[in-house]
Amino acid sequence: MENCTSCGAKLQPGVKFCTKCGSRVQMATQPMNMNTSSASTAAMPKMANEKMDQLKKQSMNYFGWYLETIKHPSKVVNESKYFGLVSFLLHTIVFSYAFYAFLNSMFTPFAKYLAAEKSTFGFMSAAVPTGMDLYFKIFPLVLAGFVMFIAVGFVCKKFMVDPQTDMFSYTNQLATYSNSLLIAELLIALFIAVSMPGSLTAQGPNELIRNVEMLSLLFFIVPGFFAIAYTASIIVDRAQVKIDKIYVVLIAVMSNTVVFFIIMNIVRGQAQGKYMETIGKNFGKTIASMLGIDAG
């Protein structure tokens, strides 16, 4: 029991005002538990270390899973639902770089030529993407392509083959069958980076033809292998279905073709609109410059 600080009267526990003098009771503050505060502070780096150890463990687990998918793609047990997503993120990064390295070698000298001809075509040089600007334009397109394939394949399998499948299990299965493509994509990207360090215009006809022939791997073999993995991810299942699985794959491929055509038309329309707008705004200056007239 405490005493009132004003009149010294005894106070009942929990009262806020003294019954004798009416003054407000000042509640004693509890001292800070330094041990608790120190323990909380010490626990923070421990939690950070545990998260880092968990991240390292997951990375090693993914690497082990990836190697197993290379050795035995049809026998791998998918333990983590996120491994497939990680694989397709890596596919997107590497595949985007391969396209970037090839297109940048063509666009860079073109952009330099336009910039050199400032009086006539200088205004168009800014409309030609190069460097990281070009990469970040390619990346979302490649990502959209993978998302399209995964989404259509998942829908076809779930509603025509196996109603028990979910998005993560299907993504893992598709990644399991297509993980070996990541090695091919890395080799192609390295080949492009080494064989075309400057620009295509700096190469002779023989070197250019050789590089174009090698790049056919990117446009034919890689998509062909992915088509096999894509087909297997849909039809390799023990579930019994009313419609033949070959027709399920045919529906999936046709659906992807339609969606891909729509996406490419949207991209083409945006690109044409951008260039036509740029040309239209500077059309008068361009004609005047070509005619040798001062447009002011």
Say what the pLDDT of residue 296 is: 46
Q: Are 185 and 100 in contact (CB under 8 A)?
A: no
C-alpha span between 276 and 253 (Å, rounded): 34
C-alpha span between 215 and 188 (Å, rounded): 7
| 100: pLDDT strictly greater than 70 | yes
Query: CB atoms < 10 A from the CB of 255, how many?
Result: 17
**Per-residue pLDDT tens for 56-79?**
777 788 998 999 999 888 887 777
Say what the pLDDT of residue 254 is: 86
Which residue(s) pair with 250 in the sheet?
none
| 121: pLDDT strictly greater than 70 | no
Average pLDDT over residues 135-162: 90
Q: How far is CA 84 from CA 78, 199, 273, in A?
A: 9, 36, 37
| 181: pLDDT strictly greater than 70 | yes
Among 125, 131, 59, 63, smallest CA distance to 97 is for 131
Say what the pLDDT of residue 30 is: 46
Average pLDDT over residues 27-49: 58
- Residue 45: what residue type? P
Quote the pTM value: 0.68
Say what the pLDDT of residue 295 is: 46
C-alpha span between 103 and 112 (Å, rounded): 14
Report the number of secondary-structure helices (H) and strands (E) in the chain: 11, 0
| 26: pLDDT strictly greater than 70 | no
| 189: pLDDT strictly greater than 50 | yes
- Residue 253: what residue type? V
C-alpha span between 294 and 244 (Å, rounded): 71
